[in-house]
Amino acid sequence: MNDAPASGTTHARAEVRLPTADLTADMGFFIDNLGFRLDMIFPADNPAVAVLSGHGLTIRLQRDVVEAPPTIRLLCPDPARFAGGRQVLVAPNGTRIEIAEADPAMEMPETQHAFVVRRLKDRDPWVIGRAGMQYRDLIPDRLGGSIIASHIRIPDGGPVPDMVHYHTIGFQLIFCYRGWVRLVYEDQGPPFILEAGDCVIQPPEIRHRVLEASDNVEVIEIGVPAEHITTIDHTMTLPTPTVRRDREFQGQTFVHHKLSEAVWTPWRLAGFAARDTGIGTGTKGVANVQVAKWQGDADPVVTSHGTDILFTFVMEGGMTLEGDGQPAHPLTAGDAFVIPPGMKTRYADCTADLELLEVCLPGTVETHLHETF
């Protein structure tokens, strides 16, 4: 039996109940300090309940109830001009009021550089995240909060219980590693299939939704910064009636790179060919994404780089990652690593089927050759 209210219910309302020992004092606090208004009070001869509303919230002050007072967060466009600029107030009944900014600016933490190697065979835990997806963290310390890299999988395919949403973020990549996933994006036309080897960038605050996935789909998701807000949009329906593929979302355009249309050219490291995804252009240099594969026509070289963040995921095959002052790390498909700027490394023992996904921020990698470590 389903006891949930019908979707057409329009007369329901909600209140937050707060205990009070001094109804007059608590009413005065919420009205005088925070701008609430009195909606109801009863009984008339000895008031025990007062209902007040303001800022999208209805509170019920009630005597003779025993419960801990909560914390109420009031979100303001300019907290300095609200409640006399105070950030925290406490009502007579003990309710804590926190005044916070309604739309805080996204913070980009300074990168805390580190050499990171994450191996699939180490059996790091998969955790259940949003919409029932399983997440594996590829950069545990997240370089001080500057980036999050997740290996995501959905074992059982079919419809995905996702909603239209968007991310307040600086850069976000979705790379389909195995299987396929069906997606839809604001102003980008009808839903489409993202197949293995394809990728998209989700520009800041573009509305989108995951609709369906194949069995055992796996994707690599990169987000900058690591902690960012996901907001559900309850009003937008996708696909949108408009198609504006050149629309900019906070300076970035949507990019859908397809493996089937890829052009391979020599890479920044000798012996490799690469396909550029066009993400450097779409983000105006904020980031770039390339897929490189070993061609076997050169000796491995010692290099370093001058970019801020250089993340690599081993898609196929194997190699040995040699780093200055580090033990050799044999790597296989599913492994990932981060090389800090200025560190000398060499990709040795590359197998014929080696294929790498490389993400760099900003979008240009300065590669420096060295004779030895």
- Give the pLDDT confidence of 72-89 residue by residue, as tens digits: 999 999 999 999 999 999
Q: Give the CATH class of 16-101.
A: alpha beta
pLDDT, tens digit (0-9, with 9 covering 90-100), for 9-20: 566 889 999 999
Average pLDDT in the 334-348 region? 97
Gap between the Cα atoms of 159 and 209, Å rounded: 11
Q: Tokens for 192?
A: 């489409």
What CATH code is assigned to 105-373?
2.60.120.10
Average pLDDT in the 194-199 region? 98
Q: Is 94 left (phi over 0), alpha (psi -120 to 50) or beta?
A: left
Provide the pLDDT confidence category of residue 187 given band limits of 50, 70 and 90: very high
pLDDT, tens digit (0-9, with 9 covering 90-100), for 295-333: 988 899 999 999 999 999 999 999 999 999 999 999 999
Q: What is the structure's pLDDT at 1?
A: 43
Q: Is the pLDDT of residue 126 over 90?
A: no
| Beta carbons of 139 and 221 less than 8 angstroms apart | no
Q: Tokens for 80?
A: 């300095």
Max CA pair span of the chain: 94
CA atoms 20, 25, 27, 32: torsion sign: negative
Average pLDDT in the 40-66 region? 95
Gap between the Cα atoms of 175 and 200, Å rounded: 7
The ranges assigned to domains in the chain are 16-101, 105-373
Average pLDDT in the 212-222 region? 96
Q: What is the structure's pLDDT at 317?
A: 98
Q: Give the residue among 228, 318, 217, 315 at the shortest CA–CA distance from 275.
A: 315
Q: Is the pLDDT of residue 6 over 60?
A: no
Average pLDDT in the 83-105 region? 93
Q: What is the structure's pLDDT at 161?
A: 87
- DSSP one-letter string for 71-137: EEEEEES-GGGSGGG-SEEE-TT--EEEEEESSPPPP-PPP----EEE-GGG-PPPEE-GGG-EEEE
Q: What is the structure's pLDDT at 10?
A: 62
Least confident of 100-114, 141-155, 262-276: 100-114
Least confident of 119-133, 167-181, 184-198, 288-302: 119-133
pLDDT averaged over every residue in the chain = 94
Distances (CA, A) of 296 to 136, 154, 268: 31, 34, 14
pLDDT, tens digit (0-9, with 9 covering 90-100), for 152-167: 998 888 998 899 999 9
Backbone phi, then psi, for 33, in 5-degree steps?
Answer: -90, -35
Provide the pLDDT confidence category of residue 7 given band limits of 50, 70 and 90: low
Q: Give the residue among 335, 280, 288 at the shortest CA–CA distance from 310.
A: 288
Backbone phi, then psi, for 355, in 5-degree steps?
Answer: -140, 130
Average pLDDT in the 255-278 region? 97
Q: What is the structure's pLDDT at 127?
A: 87
Dihedral (C-alpha) 65, 16, 34, 70: value to the nearest 10 degrees? 70
